[in-house]
Amino acid sequence: MATWGYLGFQDSASPLMEQLIFFHDHTMVVLILIVTFVGYIMFCLSFNFFINRFLLESQEIEIIWTILPAIILIFIAFPSLRLLYLLDEINNPSITLKTMGHQWYWSYEYSDFLELEFDSYMTNLGASNSEFRLLEVDNRVVLPMNSQVRVLVSAADVIHSWTVPALGVKADAVPGRLNQVSFFINRPGLFFGQCSEICGANHSFMPIVIESVSINYFLNWVSSYSESS
């Protein structure tokens, strides 16, 4: 959970998000080195510490500041390409969840089980001290941990965006189109998200809550939900 004054990422709950954080840290180190070096050069030039004819006009200098940025970009591009392949689609997910965005709530359907679908609305503001304001919903998405999950995302009216930062997933929900994301939850807990595409007056009031549970608890939840409906 993000809190006031918290400037970093949320704790990762999936291998994908963990790799995204590693890539962010790697890129930030490279950027800090570049900013430090360029700042030092500009400071020295401002006070005429090493201005000479070789620095102002030199073929060697031209070669260096052409090749060096290319090498730096390679060190950033290779980890980025690796992440893109990790984000690729999967062939055999353990469970498939269909997500539909509405103005202004989410509806879910577990396509692997018959008649297991529900709407998820934000609960009343400040209804309980144990609930998170603007984040708690009446029907949570229950998913098994340590299982490959595929989510199919679309919308019924306008463009929405299904986003869960702790899992490293964000997919636009576009009417008439079907987007797909996949993730692997590696620990139990509650993971919160919100619509990340401005979709109307109540855009801020359609949160996402994923409850990660063990596979046995998930199967019992499916059975009890099917019997009650």
Given the structure tokens 């964000």, which residue do they identify?
170
pLDDT tens for 174-194 read: 999 999 998 899 999 899 999
End-to-end Cα spacing for the chain: 32
What pLDDT score does 153 carry? 94
Least confident residue range of 1-15, 70-84, 201-215: 1-15
pLDDT of 218 higher than 70: yes
Q: Return the closest-CA partner of residue 167 out of 152, 146, 182.
A: 182
Spatial neighbors of 191 by CB under 8 A, at least 6 apart, are: 13, 164, 166, 167, 185, 209, 210, 212
Cα 160 to the chain's mean position, in Å? 15
* pTM of the entire predicted model: 0.80
Q: What confidence tier does 51 reach under pLDDT thresholds 50, 70, 90?
A: low
Distances 193 to 32, 54, 59 between C-alpha atoms, Å: 30, 56, 53
pLDDT of 49 higher than 70: no
* Single-letter residue type at 135: L
Higher-pLDDT residue of 50 and 86 is 86
What pLDDT score does 222 carry? 87
Q: What is the 3-state composition of the chain as percent helix, strand, coil, each rounded to the nearest 5?
A: 35, 25, 35
